[in-house]
Structure 1
């Protein structure tokens, strides 16, 4: 026996058993051809050796991570033209070699990564990312941490970006599947996931996210990495007959969105964009077009005493066709207890590679106290982030304190409570907040992430608080963690983009701001400002000018857009236009001055910060403030 470090590739054909049951001879011939014409030659080409095959799967070892990556990417690209999908996992770790076979954690982790991977994708471990050539750094994007069977610590998982051209083989496979009526279980499973999300705040979709992605990919004809399906969840109708129960239906909708958004292979439209369409009697196809969504989820919730009825349906927004619908009648007290049963029911409709351990992970409970959960829903309904209603903020804070009296370990309640303190200071909502409120908010946020290390909103609140406290490096790290945990949350993406601008990662900031705007088509002008600021910082002045002019057409008194537009105009040589923009800014914000901008370090300590200040000075920005602070200015961002 020999112990050594090895790069291990694990591959597995998806749906092989089902296809065998439908057409045994053709499927077997296609499988043998895939191995003899594609997999085996490419493994050998890159210096690898296949040490185990399992009918429709294989394990191979390579002399280096880079060779393993090259082989896996070539193999995946080759499968585009074949009637199968392949999923691949790659790990670098210790193995024991005995008579040509290999054992140990290095092999086990590769196999677990393969089991987690979406069809037609490659998942790799952190060790692979660290060991790959620097030139490959942009090849990877984070999936987050995932628990794997028989492995104590959650794995940091990354996906490999695959760029492909559409191939005839995929169209042939889709036609074959649709002829056999195989799309129906996918639709059933997809909509079922939505209903489960309605019953919980925890990441119930984490374990079966890849399966949901695969189902939607087959329906859309796209690839997981390149053409992710976009889903919009419209606000559920309150059918209780009592207006004061509307918060419950809204809370369920928000939880559906939050849980779907945890899946990095989906694009999930932001809550504020979908809620903006509440009550509009538009054709579902028009709604999908406005939101940029291929699929729309809509439904209703009726709560009467301890009885709960939830109706959900999934609609193809392009055709208006109803793909699936179902009604659930439950007791309110059974909402969390039923999650395991409901998850198992949904999994039964999905492809067979979902592991039972992953299913059980979806049964975690955010709180044992349903009254505490109800209070958090009421608090979220009472105060919406960005509002300047002091009375609503204080009412929401009181509700969250009551929730924590009932369950001090309720992480989401602590995160939301922390947000009320930090927002009050940053936006001057009550007019009474001090630095002590920031420390209080930070304390709550830190407790939240200690209670639940996978709570994305906890890290988002932590990022806001650290920014308010002046710890910009910490704020960027926290925002990055929030995005890692919830890649579809536009507020977290914008927080990260702002931090990246401050620390000089301008191109990355542009990409994150663009993505946030796609996920929030009806976003406030703040999103436009951040995008324009990132474009300015990246030197893309023509684009920045266009974006900021759009902002000022919609909101001529938007101070942040006026500020960055002033710098853009100065740098482009339009000094007179820059001075007009500065005059508008000082009229809107009498408290604006170069001194405040210098202290706020909008672009951190980079050379751009000095250039920015010089451009403002050339546009005749006042040296010191000429008035009192107005509530809607955001010098802290």
Structure 2
């Protein structure tokens, strides 16, 4: 296939790995992605099984299914809105590249008279070439590499489309009208930045601009030190991307605010998910209950939404972990989480980001509901393998293998995540406290006491047990008295449900220490 190949209005240049969509937008595909497209094009209109595609594109290599899903997502994004539907998913059969778009409708959500594709999320970004401000040597190659890495990583996610470097390059060295360019390129955001390198130190500044208003949505600075150019580039790119597209990233928060400004009648799947996420990450019993209510409302209108089902599964998990569900009801709550997860992951139009969080949820369901620690480990390692640079995933999956007794690996993942997250949330710091306690580093655990504002469910038992282990029983009693006032309904059974360690002696030891701290009080189970 040396000559360009047409797929509808799109043109594929297999020699260079580029795809030009019908609107003129060009995308450079990764080698495995262009190879998958080559296989599909050679057998156009033929259903090809997943196993056959794995054998053709990854011969002799064991990869997770997410690798194939990611490549399919990138191809659809590159083909553009006109032709993306030519690459069809046939549930339980495989994939087909059709000569003509399928006349049967894909999974669609209808609301308030509008039809919207399940996976069409609104975040699109024009990444402008980062400017080289280095004084002593020309670091243009470093700045260009940063830009290319950012675009490539952003385009891994179907929900966040980044305009390719070849199109953005026209602005290099020239002042631009952000609103005019954003309107012309049909993007919501514009990302610009600078690179300043001196010796083994590099400073990157980045700013995300709203393309409609030309106002700054977010800005930050990243400093790294080292003499390995590629390592520096990778470190800064990873931290910047976490700030932009992590599950608590600036784009998610921006889209969340937009969702809250809409009226009930105008809400679509994405808006319900954003509203639920807002309450989910506040991590209080009241907010968790509200998150469940929002997802329930969304699923009444959009009953096939895999995105909302997976979000609701997380909500049920959080209720179980925070003791909002009584111990005798925890099993049914986790059973509901498992059901929602299975249905959500079977949605053929599930976006990659929802697939990602679903993979993480699967590991937690194996631990909290099925108590299958072997399966939990496999899902956790598969999640890290599929998304090795995802800071939030490292935190969430470290918790899974921590329960499974792999504390050394959990520490490695936590350290990697903390190195990339400049301002970790309380629930992430709580993970460090728990691991410090488990490893007998009681003073280290207590060092986080003043950095975490909500001590209740996530850390109070571990901190009090650490105080007892250090002989500070009076301080431990004071802490548990406060905990008892804040959560009078929280029992030993709730503690065991929310901390499903494979090694039962871990909790037995903790409960012995908490008993010295006066918890639970006499007469309470």
Q: TM-score, normalised by structure 2?
A: 0.50
Q: Normalising by structure 1, report the TM-score.
A: 0.42
